Amino acid sequence: MFKLTDKIAIVTGASRGIGKSIAETLEKAGAQVMCVSRHLEDVQKIADNLGNAGSEAMGFACDVSDTKSVTSLVQSIIEKYHRIDILINNAGITKDALIMRMSERDWDDVLNTNLKGAFNMTKAVSRTMMKNRTGRIINISSIIGLTGNPGQINYAASKAGLIGLTKTTAKEFASRNITANCIAPGYIETDMSNAINEKKKETLMKQIPLGRIGKPEDIASMVQFLSSDEAGFITGQTITVDGGMVL
């Protein structure tokens, strides 16, 4: 079940946290995984370890907010593999501040990475996916995009934006057998969430009915399912993976 044998997958933000786990999970399911982050050394390490499981994995340095870099990244992957089957838009950052103190720079940085980055990647893979009449696009949003959160206006707007971006992608690409879905993770243990202070973490924990913090693998297994043939009739959806935090 949920096999991805020989599928060509791109995972952005694959150098650590949720993206690393997604890359590992897709590879175990049989995919050839192209791992992307801004720092080649970090992402190459992940790709080298993946290569051990038998399939081919590669690391690429690319800032997803930079349209030219994204175009040339995707072109180089298509030149080698002639297709892209799966795109996981996972790269994301936070730059938190209350609205009155939020700088224009921090607003732009977060929107450019989290939202424009996903647009850049989606546009860049669209031609080859349409030509091949198959594809899976999965965008990693956040429960913050559903609920809002004080101090995260840029992040919340970017993650809510991803939901609209996903629905539009789903509608535009459906006739070519390409699905697009969103995952909204809750509180998942990674470097990003480790930046939250201990008191806030305790409060968050109390809001999770399943009584534990999520693991990157909890998100990766949903990504594997949505990437598979078995999920072929699901598109335009946002699936919350949060231990019941937002009900």
Ligand X SMILES: NC(=O)c1ccc[n+]([C@@H]2O[C@H](COP(=O)([O-])OP(=O)(O)OC[C@H]3O[C@@H](n4cnc5c(N)ncnc54)[C@H](OP(=O)(O)O)[C@@H]3O)[C@@H](O)[C@H]2O)c1
Point out the catalytic residue in the list 60, 155, 173, 187: 155
Q: Of 182-221, which residues contact ligand X (CB under 6 A)?
A: 185, 187-188, 190-193
Q: Which two tokens stand for residue 54?
A: 């038998």
Quick one: which segment of 23-31, 77-85, 181-189, 198-206 binds ligand X (CB under 6 A)?
Answer: 181-189
Site for ligand X in 31-90 (CB under 6 A): 36-39, 42, 63-65, 90
Helix (H) or strand (E) holding 32: strand 32-37
- From candidates 25, 44, 55, 113, binder to ligand X by CB under 6 A: 113
Give the one residue of 4, 7, 10, 16 binding ligand X; rule: CB under 6 A. 16
Q: What's the CA gap between 2 and 30, in Å, rounded?
A: 10
| Both tokens assigned to 53 | 């499981």
Other Cβ atoms less than 10 A from the Cβ of 147: the count is: 13
Active-site annotation holds for 81: no
C-beta separation of 184 from 141 below 8 A = yes
Q: Is residue 177 helix, strand or coil?
A: coil
SS3 of 212-242: the string is CCECHHHHHHHHHHHHCHHHCCCCCCEEEEC
Kindly determine how many residues on this chain lie close enough to bind ligand X according to the rule CB under 6 A. Answer: 31
Specify the stretch interacting with ligand X by CB under 6 A; choose among 16-24, 50-58, 95-103, 197-205.
16-24
Q: Please state the closest distance from residue 193 (CB atom) to ligand X, in A.
A: 4
| Binds ligand X (CB under 6 A): choice among 9, 10, 13, 227 | 13
Among 4, 8, 10, 18, binds ligand X (CB under 6 A): 18
**Residues 9, 11, 15, 116: which binds ligand X (CB under 6 A)?**
15
The strand pairing partners of 87, in sequence order, are 10, 137
> Residues 42, 46, 47, 51: what is their CA dihedral angle, to the nearest 10 degrees?
150
Active-site residue numbers? 155
The residues binding ligand X (CB under 6 A) are 12-19, 36-39, 42, 63-65, 90-93, 113, 117, 140, 142, 185, 187-188, 190-193
